C-alpha cells in the first residue's frame, strides 16, 4: 500500500491525503538561498500530496558545517531530525555510529543500484546498506570564462595546461585580471583539485587524494602540482584573500577578469546577471581534465527512529530519487541529477553538457570525489590539507616545504 | 527598643530566616556547579579519549595533547590571542576612558552622541561582518575610496596581509565594545564625589593631575567590570573572526575559539578540540584568577 | 553614618557647577576641538552601519558592478520588503517576519529571570555575606569565561535528560545558565556601593529579607537593572550557536533565520537583501539601546546623587 501511494500522481494523492494523517518529517538542511530552497519546495509539495507534512529546519553556513554541528547537538539530546542533508564522509561517519536507517528495501524496489554510479554509491552505502539518497551531483572542475573578453583578446577555449597559461598571459598583457579567485581555504582547494588532476592524471588523483598513499603524496609530481599552483597565483589579483566566490564570479561578469575556476553553482550567478551560456559566458572543463569529472553530491540520510524505516522516511527517500524531482531540482540548482537514466532536455546547455560528461565519466571510471568538497578523504585530513595548500598559495611555504607538510598533515590526521 | 527584640524570638522561623539568603543563592550555585564546572570536568575527561564525531570513552592518555602541540595553527592561534587580547583590552579601556572624560564635559547633545558610541554593541557580527569586510577590503573599501579622491599612494591593505590582518580584527572588535566601556566609565565618573574634586581644585591641582590622582583611581570598580567584560569577549571572539577573515589569510588570524570549534565540529577531532579547550581554560584561569583574587579580597 | 552620607550627597550636587563655570569662560577654542574629536568618533562608529544602510537601498546590480561604497544611483525599498516577507530563508519564502515572535518568546523570559536572579544574588552577596561568599562569587564569575563551544554537546545531553530539548523553555534555560554570571556581577558591584547601614537599620526595625530587598534596594536599582537588561537582551538576541543547536523547526530564533538568509553557500548572494535583513534583525536591540540608553544615564545620575 505504502509503495503504491508513492508512485501515484497528484490526482490520486488527493485521495490518500484524506485517508490517513501520516506523521510529519522534520528535515535539516542548508539550502536557504532563493533558487535551491525553492527547488526543495518541489519535494515538500510532493510529500504534501501524500499527506505528509514538512517541518523545515534550515541551518545555513560553512557549506553545511553549521548544520552538522546542530545535528550533533540534536542527536545528543535524543531529538534527531527525521532526515538530514549530508555530504560525503559525514554520511559514512554517522553510519559508523549506527545512527542511520537502512534504506535497502526502498533501494531494491526502485532499482537504485542500477542507476546510481558506483562512485556515488561509495557514500550512499555503508557496509553494503543504503543509508542515503543522493539528490544531485555537482561537478567542480569547471572553468567559467568571459566570452566577450576572450573574443576581444583572440583566445580560443584552452585545451591543455600550456594553452591555458598562454591565454592567462594574454589577459595579463591586456591589463585584466586573468584569473578571478577568492582566497578561502575551500576555494584554494577547488583550484588544487583540478591542478592535481590535470598534472598527475586520474591514477595520481586516486593514489594521493583518495588512497592517501604517502609515497605519492611526497612525490616529485606533487611538487610539480604545487609549482603550478604558484604559477596560477601569479595570475590572481592582489586582493584575492577572503573574497567570496560569488564576488570573484562578479569580476568575470563585469568584464574585469577572464576566467574563474569554480563548481557548477557559479552558473547561477551568470544567469542571475542576465547572461546566456555560450553567448556571454562559456563553461568548459579545466584543461587536461576533459575526460574526468570531480564531483560532490548532496544526499539525504534518514535517522533511524526505532527498528525500521518509517513510512514517511520511505516516502521521502523515494520522492528524492524520483526522476521528476531530480530534474526539477537540478534545473534550478545548476547541478545534474544523481541517476544516470534520465532525459535532461530541460536543462540548459551547460547542464546538458555536464550531465553527458558525468555519465561518460561514470562509465569509464573517471568519476572522482572532489577532495576540496569532502568527497575524497575524511574531514580531518581534508582540512589539514587545506591548511597546507592555503599556506603555500599565500606564500608561507615553498613547494618543497608544502610537499613535506602535506605528508605530515595526512600522517597526523589519518 | 527594637535592637533587643530578635534575641527573644529565636525559633525555627528565625532559623529559616538565617538560611534564607543561602537558599536564594542555591539555584545559582547548583546551576554553576553542574553547567560550568561539571562541563569543564567532562571536557577534561574528553581530552583524554579518542572522541571524534561524538563523545566516546576510549582512553588514549596524552595523545591529543601531543598532537595538539604538533599543529602549527594552534601556535598561531595562541600567539594571536595574546596580541589580540592585550591590544583589544588596552585600546578599549583607553578609548572608553577618553571618550567618557570628553563626554563628561557638559557636552550638548550628549545623549545623542552617547547612543552613537554605544549602538555597535547591539549588533552581532553576523550582521556587521560583511560591511566590515568590504570596508577593509582594499579593492572596494577605504583604500579604493581614498584613492578615488585623488590620494593615489594611499594604502590600507592590512586585511590581505598575513602579518597585519590580526590588527584589523582589533579595529572591528574595538569598534563594537569601546562604546560600552565608555558607558561604564561614564557611570563611574558621574558617581565620583564632587567635594573631593572641589577641594583639590581649590588646592590648585591641574586638570591632568586631578584626573590622574583622584578621578582615575576612583574608577577602579569600573575598570574591573570592564576588564571582565572585555576579557570574556576577547576569549570568545569567534563570530568576528569568521565574519571578517575566516581565519585567513592562510591561518594568520586563527584564534583559540575558532581553532577549537574547527577541530571539534568541522574536522571531527573532538578529542583534540577538548584538549585545546582545556589548555585555553587553564590559561584563562592563570590570568583571571589572580586578578579576581586580588580585586575581591581587597574589597571584602 | 547615614547623616554623613546625605550631607555628602548634597555637597556633591552643589559642588559641581563651580569648575564648569570656570571652564566655560576660558576655553572656547579647546571646546571646538573637543566637539571635533567627538564628531570624528561618531564617524568611526557610524561607518559600518552607513555601508549597510546604503547598500540595502540599492538594486543588486549596482553592488556587484563594484559600487559598494557609493550612494545608490537608483534608490529602492524592494530589498527591505523582500527581507521582511518574501525572501527565502528555508523551503518557504517567508522572509524574516515569522522568526521575530520566536526570538521574543525566548528573550523576554530569559532576560527577566536572569535579571531577577542576578539582583537577588547581588543582594545576598553584599548585604548578607557569609564565610566563603567572595569565593563563591569568584567561582560564579569565572563561569562567564567558559567557551560556549565546549558546552554544546554536554548541554544537549542535559536538555535531553530534562526533557526540554528543542523547546523554548530549553532555550530560555540555556541562556539563563550562561547569563547568570554577568547579571550577578553587575548587581553585586552596584549593591556593594549601596550603604549597608540602611539595610542594617531596617533589619533592626524588624524588616525581613525580602522586605528589605523590595523596599530599600529595589527602588534604587533602576540604573543597574537597565545595564543588566541591555547586556542580557543583546547577548541573547544576538546568540546564534545556542539558538541553532537547541531550537526546533518551529522555535528557530531570528539569528538563525538571518544566518540562513545571509550564509547560503552555493546560491546567488543578494547582498542588498542581506543588509536589509541584517538591519531589521538588529532593530529590537538598537531600539533597546536608544530607548533604554536614555533611562540608563538619567537613572545613573539620580543614583549618584543618592549614593
Lookup: cell for B225: 567590570
Q: Give the best residue of C169, C265, C277 to mutate against chain A (max A CB count within 10 A).
A: C265
**pLDDT above 70 (res C307):** no
Provide the pLDDT confidence category of residue A221 given band limits of 50, 70 and 90: very high
B178 touches chain A (CB under 8 A): no
Classify residue A236 by its DSSP letter: B
How far apart are the two ends of chain C, measured CA to CA in Å?
A: 13
In this complex, is the C-beta atom of B42 within 8 Å of any C-beta atom belonging to chain C?
yes
* Cross-chain residue pair A242–B265, CB shorter than 8 Å: no
pLDDT of residue C68: 75
Model confidence at B246: pLDDT above 50 = yes
Burial (CB count within 10 angstroms: exposed 0-12, middle 13-18, buried 19+), residue C188 = buried
**Which helix (H) or strand (E) segment is A408 a member of?**
helix A399-413
CATH of domain C80-306: 1.10.3720.10
| Domain assignment of residue A363, yes or no | no
Nearest CA distance, A62 vs chain C (angstrom) = 7
Q: Give the pLDDT confidence score for residue A78 in this predicted structure.
A: 87
| Cα gap B281→B289, rounded to integer Å | 11
Please identify which residue in the block is written with the cell numbers 569568521: B242
DSSP character for C218?
A: G
User: For position A213, what pLDDT does the model report?
Assistant: 95
What does the alpha-carbon distance between residue B102 and residue B97 come to, in Å, rounded to a whole number?
Answer: 9
Statement: residue A21 has pLDDT above 80: no
| Helix, strand, coil % over all residues of chain A, rounded to 5 | 55, 15, 30
On the question of pLDDT at B4 being above 50, the answer is no
Sheet with A142-146: strands ordered across? A177-180, A257-261, A142-146, A281-285
Cβ of residue B105 closer than 8 Å to a chain C Cβ: yes
The pLDDT of residue A22 is 57
Least confident of B92-106, B184-198, B257-271, C162-176: B184-198
Query: B93: closest CA among B229, B1, B194, B207?
Result: B229
Across the interface, do B32 and C181 touch by the CB < 8 Å criterion?
yes
| Residue whose entry in the numeric block shows the C-alpha cell 590526521 | A413
**A204 and A149 share one domain:** yes
**Tens digit of pLDDT for each residue in C90-126?**
788 888 888 989 999 999 999 999 999 999 999 999 8
Written as nine digits, the cell of A65 is: 558545517
> What CATH number has the domain bearing residue A107?
3.40.190.10
B251 interfaces chain A, CB cutoff of 8 Å: yes
Query: Are residues C174 and C114 in contact, defined by beta-carbon separation less than 8 angstroms?
Result: no
pLDDT, residue B288, reads: 82
3-state secondary structure of A140: coil
Q: Give the per-residue pLDDT at A228.
A: 97
User: 3-state class of B272 per DSSP?
Assistant: helix
pLDDT at A156: 93
**pLDDT class of C12 with cuts at 50, 70, 90:** very low
Q: Which residues in A47-114 belong to E strands, given as ranges? A: 54-58, 83-87
Contact between A333 and A136 (Cβ < 8 Å)? yes
> What's the mean per-residue pLDDT of chain C?
81
Question: In which domain, by residue range, is A246 found?
Answer: 142-294+371-413
Judged against a pLDDT cut of 70, whether residue B44 lies above it is answered with yes
Count of beta carbons in the 10 Å neighbourhood of residue B19: 11
- Asked if pLDDT for residue B273 goes beyond 70, the answer is yes
Work out the pLDDT band at A337, boundaries 50, 70, 90: very high
Give how far B194 is from chain A: nearest CA, Å. 52
Question: Are residues A131 and A61 part of one domain?
Answer: yes
Mutation target to probe the B interface, by most B beta carbons within 10 A, among A72, A241, A256, A395 is A241
Q: CA-CA distance, C115 to C229, in Å (whole number)?
A: 7
Closest in B53, B138, B266 to A93, CB measured: B53
- C91–A54 C-beta distance less than 8 A: yes
- φ and ψ at residue B56, rounded to 5 degrees: -135, 165
Which of A33, A54, A70 shows the shortest C-beta gap to C268? A33
CA atoms within 13 A on the CB side of B182: 31
Kindly provide the b/e burial profile for residues A373-382, where b requires at least 16 CB atoms within 10 angstroms of the residue's own CB: bbbbbbbbbb
Q: In the structure, what pLDDT confidence band is assigned to residue C134 with cuts at 50, 70 and 90?
A: confident
Give the model confidence (pLDDT) of A194-212 as tens digits: 999 999 999 999 999 999 9
Of the given ranges (B5-9, C110-114, C170-174, C293-297), which has the lowest mean pLDDT?
B5-9
Using CB atoms, pick whichever of C133, C155, C205 lies closest to residue B2: C205
Residue partners of A7: CB distance under 8 A and separation at least 6: none
| Predicted local confidence at residue B298, as pLDDT | 59
In a domain, A366, yes or no: no
User: What are the start-end ranges of the E strands in A1-94?
Assistant: 25-29, 54-58, 83-87
Contact A242, B246 (CB under 8 A): yes
Query: Among all residues of chain A, which has the CA nearest to that of B246?
Result: A242
| Same domain membership, residue A233 and residue A168 | yes
CB contacts of B241 in chain A (<8 Å) are: none
Give the pLDDT confidence score for residue A350 in this predicted structure: 86
Collect all residues with Cβ–Cβ distance below 8 Å to C97 and sequence separation of at least 6: C84, C85
pLDDT at B243: 82
Same structural domain, A51 and A124: yes
B183: contact with C, CB 8 A cutoff: yes
Which of C48, C142, C209 comes nearest B288 by C-beta? C142
Is residue A60, in this structure, part of any structural domain at all?
yes
At residue A252 the predicted structure's pLDDT band, cuts being 50, 70 and 90, is very high
Say what percent of chain C tops pLDDT 90.
Answer: 28
B147 contact A CB<8A: no
Q: What is the ipTM of this complex?
A: 0.82
The reported pTM is 0.84
Residues A132 and A166 in one domain: no
| Average pLDDT over all residues of chain B | 85
Phi, psi of B272 (to 5 degrees): -65, -40
The model's confidence at residue C296, banded by pLDDT at 50, 70 and 90, is low
Residue B20 to chain A, least CA–CA distance (Å): 35
Average confidence score pLDDT of chain A: 88
Cβ-proximal residues to B98 (8 Å cutoff; 6+ apart), any chain: none
Q: What distance in Å separates the CA atoms of residue A180 and residue A164, rounded to the nearest whole number?
A: 14
- Let me know: does A35 contact C268? Beta carbons within 8 Å: yes
Contact flag B231-C145 (C-beta cutoff 8 Å): yes
* A46: closest CA of chain B, how far (Å): 33
Close Cβ partners of A387 (under 8 Å, ≥ 6 residues apart): A185, A409, B72, B73, B251
pLDDT, tens digit, 9 for 90 and up, residues A55-92: 999 888 767 888 888 999 999 998 899 999 999 999 99
Fill in the DSSP letter of residue B9. -
What was the pLDDT predicted at C24?
A: 45
Q: Which residues of A touch C269 (CB under 8 A)?
A: 33, 244, 246
CB pair distance less than 8 Å for A383 and B73: no
Instruction: Tell me whether B58 touches chain A (CB under 8 Å).
Output: no
A243 contacts in chain B (CB < 8 Å): 137
Answer whether the bond into residue B249 is a cis peptide, omega within 30°: yes
The Cα–Cα gap between C94 and C101 comes to: 13
Of the listed ranges A36-50, B1-15, B127-141, C109-123, the least confidently predicted one is B1-15
With respect to residue A364, please indicate whether it lies within any of the assigned structural domains. no
For residue C163, count CB atoms less than 10 angstroms from its CB and return exposed for 0-12, middle for 13-18, buried for 19 or more.
exposed
Q: What pLDDT was estimated at residue A307? A: 66
Query: Cβ contacts of residue A224 below 8 Å, gap of 6+?
Result: A199
Nearest alpha-carbon partner for C257 in C89, C109, C67: C89
- Is 60 exceeded by the pLDDT of residue B300? no
Number of Cβ within a 10 Å radius of residue A132? 32
For the domain made up of B71-299, the CATH class stated in words is: mainly alpha
Q: Which residues of A touch C89 (CB under 8 A)?
A: 32, 37, 58
Q: What is the pLDDT of residue C113?
A: 96
User: How many domains does chain A fold into?
Assistant: 2
- Contact state of A93 with B137 under an 8 Å Cβ cutoff: no
Q: A58 with A129, same domain? A: yes
At residue C267, the pLDDT reads 65
Is residue B144 scored above 80 in pLDDT?
A: yes
Across A316-330, A366-380, B22-36, B247-261, least confident range: B247-261
Q: Which of A336-345, B83-92, C11-20 comes out lowest in average pLDDT?
A: C11-20
Taking a C-beta distance cutoff of 8 angstroms, is the pair A185, B252 a contact?
no
Amino acid at each position: 500500500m505504502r509503495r503504491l501511494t508513492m508512485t501515484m500522481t497528484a490526482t490520486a494523492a488527493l485521495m490518500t491525503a484524506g485517508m490517513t494523517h501520516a506523521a510529519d518529517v522534520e528535515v535539516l538542511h542548508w539550502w536557504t538561498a532563493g533558487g535551491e530552497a525553492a527547488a526543495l519546495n518541489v519535494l515538500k509539495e510532493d510529500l504534501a500530496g501524500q499527506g505528509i507534512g514538512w517541518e523545515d529546519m534550515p541551518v545555513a553556513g560553512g557549506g553545511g558545517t553549521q548544520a552538522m554541528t546542530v545535528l550533533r547537538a540534536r542527536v545528543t539530546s535524543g531529538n534527531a531530525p527525521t532526515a538530514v542533508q549530508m555530504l560525503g564522509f559525514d554520511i559514512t561517519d554517522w553510519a559508523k555510529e549506527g545512527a542511520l536507517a537502512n534504506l535497502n528495501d526502498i533501494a531494491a524496489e526502485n532499482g537504485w543500484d542500477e542507476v546510481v554510479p558506483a562512485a556515488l554509491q561509495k557514500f550512499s552505502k555503508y557496509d553494503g546498506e543504503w543509508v542515503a539518497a543522493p539528490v544531485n551531483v555537482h561537478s567542480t572542475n569547471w572553468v567559467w570564462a568571459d566570452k566577450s573578453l576572450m573574443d576581444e583578446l583572440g583566445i580560443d577555449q584552452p585545451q591543455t595546461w600550456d594553452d591555458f597559461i598562454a591565454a592567462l598571459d594574454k589577459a595579463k598583457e591586456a591589463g585584466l585580471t586573468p584569473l578571478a579567485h577568492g582566497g578561502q581555504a575551500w576555494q584554494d582547494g577547488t583550484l588544487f583539485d583540478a591542478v592535481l588532476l590535470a598534472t598527475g592524471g586520474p591514477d595520481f588523483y586516486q593514489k594521493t587524494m583518495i588512497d592517501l598513499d604517502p609515497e605519492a603524496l611526497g612525490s616529485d609530481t606533487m611538487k610539480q602540482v604545487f609549482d603550478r599552483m604558484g604559477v596560477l597565483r601569479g595570475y590572481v589579483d592582489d586582493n584575492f584573500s577572503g573574497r567570496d566566490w560569488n564576488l570573484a564570479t562578479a569580476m568575470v561578469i563585469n568584464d574585469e577578469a577572464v576566467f574563474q575556476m569554480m563548481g557548477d553553482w557559479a552558473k547561477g550567478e551568470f544567469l542571475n546577471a542576465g547572461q546566456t551560456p555560450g553567448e556571454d559566458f562559456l563553461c568548459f572543463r579545466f584543461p587536461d581534465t576533459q575526460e574526468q569529472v570531480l564531483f560532490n553530491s548532496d544526499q539525504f540520510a534518514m535517522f533511524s527512529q526505532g527498528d525500521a524505516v518509517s513510512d514517511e522516511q520511505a516516502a521521502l527517500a523515494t520522492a528524492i530519487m524520483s526522476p521528476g524531482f531530480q530534474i526539477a531540482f537540478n534545473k534550478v540548482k545548476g547541478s545534474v541529477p544523481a541517476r544516470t537514466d534520465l532525459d535532461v532536455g530541460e536543462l540548459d546547455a551547460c547542464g546538458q553538457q555536464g550531465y553527458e560528461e558525468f555519465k561518460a565519466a561514470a562509465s569509464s571510471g573517471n568519476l572522482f570525489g572532489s577532495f576540496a568538497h569532502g568527497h575524497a578523504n575524511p574531514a580531518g585530513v581534508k582540512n589539514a590539507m587545506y591548511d597546507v595548500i592555503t599556506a603555500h598559495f599565500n606564500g608561507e611555504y615553498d613547494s618543497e616545504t608544502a610537499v613535506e607538510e602535506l605528508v605530515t598533515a595526512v600522517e597526523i590526521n589519518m | 527598643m527594637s535592637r533587643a527584640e530578635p534575641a527573644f524570638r529565636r525559633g525555627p522561623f528565625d532559623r529559616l530566616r538565617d538560611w534564607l539568603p543561602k537558599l536564594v543563592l542555591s539555584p545559582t550555585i547548583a546551576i554553576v556547579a553542574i553547567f560550568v564546572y561539571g562541563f569543564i570536568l567532562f571536557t577534561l575527561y574528553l581530552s583524554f579519549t579518542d572522541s571524534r564525531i561524538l563523545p566516546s570513552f576510549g582512553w588514549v592518555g596524552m595523545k591529543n595533547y601531543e598532537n595538539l602541540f604538533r599543529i602549527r595553527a594552534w601556535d598561531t592561534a595562541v600567539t594571536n590571542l595574546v596580541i589580540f587580547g592585550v591590544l583589544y583590552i588596552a585600546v578599549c579601556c583607553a578609548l572608553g576612558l577618553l571618550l567618557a572624560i570628553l563626554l563628561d564635559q557638559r557636552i550638548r547633545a550628549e545623549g545623542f552622541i552617547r547612543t552613537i558610541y554605544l549602538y555597535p554593541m547591539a549588533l552581532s557580527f553576523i550582521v556587521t561582518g560583511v560591511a566590515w569586510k568590504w570596508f577593509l577590503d582594499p579593492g572596494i573599501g577605504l583604500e579604493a575610496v581614498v584613492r578615488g579622491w585623488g590620494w593615489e599612494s594611499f594604502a590600507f591593505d592590512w586585511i590581505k596581509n598575513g602579518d597585519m590582518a590580526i590588527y584589523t580584527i582589533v579595529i572591528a572588535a574595538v569598534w563594537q565594545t569601546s562604546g560600552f566601556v565608555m558607558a561604564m566609565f561614564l557611570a563611574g565618573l558621574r558617581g565620583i564625589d564632587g567635594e573631593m574634586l572641589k577641594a583639590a581644585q581649590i588646592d590648585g591641582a591641574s586638570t591632568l593631575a586631578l584626573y590622574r590622582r583622584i578621578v582615575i583611581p576612583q574608577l577602579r570598580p569600573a575598570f574591573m567590570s570592564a576588564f571582565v567584560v572585555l576579557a570574556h569577549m576577547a576569549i570568545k571572539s569567534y563570530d568576528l573572526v569568521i565574519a571578517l577573515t575566516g581565519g585567513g589569510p592562510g591561518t594568520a588570524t586563527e584564534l583559540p575559539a575558532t581553532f577549537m570549534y574547527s577541530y571539534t565540529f568541522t574536522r571531527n577531532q573532538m578529542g583534540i578540540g577538548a584538549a585545546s579547550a582545556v589548555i585555553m581554560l587553564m590559561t584563562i584561569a592563570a590570568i583571571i584568577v589572580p586578578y579576581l583574587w586580588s580585586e575581591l579580597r581587597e574589597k571584602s | 553614618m547615614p547623616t554623613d552620607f546625605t550631607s555628602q550627597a548634597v555637597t556633591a550636587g552643589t559642588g559641581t557647577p563651580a569648575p564648569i563655570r570656570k571652564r566655560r569662560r576660558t576655553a572656547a577654542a579647546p571646546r571646538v576641538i573637543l566637539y571635533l574629536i567627538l564628531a570624528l568618533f561618531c564617524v568611526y562608529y557610524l561607518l559600518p552601519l552607513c555601508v549597510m544602510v546604503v547598500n540595502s537601498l540599492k538594486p543588486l546590480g549596482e553592488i556587484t558592478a563594484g559600487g559598494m561604497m557609493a550612494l545608490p544611483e537608483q534608490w529602492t525599498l524592494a530589498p527591505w520588503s523582500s527581507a521582511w516577507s518574501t525572501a527565502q530563508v528555508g523551503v518557504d519564502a517567508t522572509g524574516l517576519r515569522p522568526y521575530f515572535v520566536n526570538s521574543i518568546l525566548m528573550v523576554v523570559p530569559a532576560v527577566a529571570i536572569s535579571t531577577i536572579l542576578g539582583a537577588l544574588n547581588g543582594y545576598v552577596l553584599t548585604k548578607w555575606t557569609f564565610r566563603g561568599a567572595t569565593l563563591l562569587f569568584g567561582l560564579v564569575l569565572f563561569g562567564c569565561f567558559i567557551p560556549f563551544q565546549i558546552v554544546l554537546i554536554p548541554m544537549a545531553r542535559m536538555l535531553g535528560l530534562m526533557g526540554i530539548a528543542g523547546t523554548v523553555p530549553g532555550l530560555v534555560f540555556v541562556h539563563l545558565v550562561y547569563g547568570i554570571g554577568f547579571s550577578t556581577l553587575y548587581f553585586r558591584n552596584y549593591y556593594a556601593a549601596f550603604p549597608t547601614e540602611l539595610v542594617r537599620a531596617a533589619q533592626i526595625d524588624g524588616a525581613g529579607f525580602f522586605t528589605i530587598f523590595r523596599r530599600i534596594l529595589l527602588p534604587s536599582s533602576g540604573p543597574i537593572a537597565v545595564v543588566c537588561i541591555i547586556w542580557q537582551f543583546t547577548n541573547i538576541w544576538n546568540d546564534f550557536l545556542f539558538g541553532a543547536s537547541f531550537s526546533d523547526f518551529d522555535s528557530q530564533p531570528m539569528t538563525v533565520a538571518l544566518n540562513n538568509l545571509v550564509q547560503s553557500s552555493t546560491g546567488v548572494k543578494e547582498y542588498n537583501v542581506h543588509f536589509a535583513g541584517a538591519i531589521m534583525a538588529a532593530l529590537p536591540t538598537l531600539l533597546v539601546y536608544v530607548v533604554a540608553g536614555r533611562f540608563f544615564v538619567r537613572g545613573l545620575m539620580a543614583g549618584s546623587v543618592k549614593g
